[in-house]
Amino acid sequence: QSVLTQPPSVSAAPGQKVTISCSGSSPNIGSNLVSWYQQFPGTAPKLLMYDNSKRPSGISDRFSGSRSDTSATLDITGLQTGDEADYYCGTWDYSLDSVVFGGGTKLTVL
């Protein structure tokens, strides 16, 4: 069981918008900034978002992030088939003194 809770899967049609949620609690999301990672099968994860809503250089502005209280969300607009991947949220948990990740969400672009 992951400390951060994500839906196992989400899906939407090309061109549409999808939202991936990440639910936590006070010691993690409630107190620390959230990052998001994109992972294609057989490859290493890639940083997609950091500090809740900042995009690293080279990441499309179709990706956006936010945090409210003990939850975070990743929005992807203008969905493309190339966005099909697994997405993970992560943050520091001060009660566990460790990094925690969500269980991951598989995005399918129908």
Instruction: Give residues in contact with another protein (CB under 8 A).
Output: 2, 31-33, 35, 37, 39, 43-47, 50-51, 56, 86, 88, 90-92, 96-104
**Shortest distance (Å) from residue 16 CB to another protein:** 25
Give the neighbor-by-neighbor strand order of the sheet with 63-68.
18-23, 71-76, 63-68
Residue 72 sits at φ, ψ, to 5 deg, of -135, 155
CB of 19 to another protein, least distance (A): 19
16 or 96: CB nearest another protein: 96
8 A C-beta contact, residue 24 and residue 52 = no
The nearer residue to another protein, 16 or 60, going by C-beta atoms, is 60
Q: Shortest distance, CB of residue 22 to another protein, whole angstroms?
A: 12
**Residue 33 corresponds to which tokens in the numbers above?**
């900034």
Minimal distance, residue 95 CB to another protein, in Å: 12
Dist CA 75 CA 65 (whole Å): 6
C-beta closer to another protein: residue 9 or 16? 9
What distance in Å separates the CA atoms of residue 2 and residue 52, rounded to the nearest whole number?
19
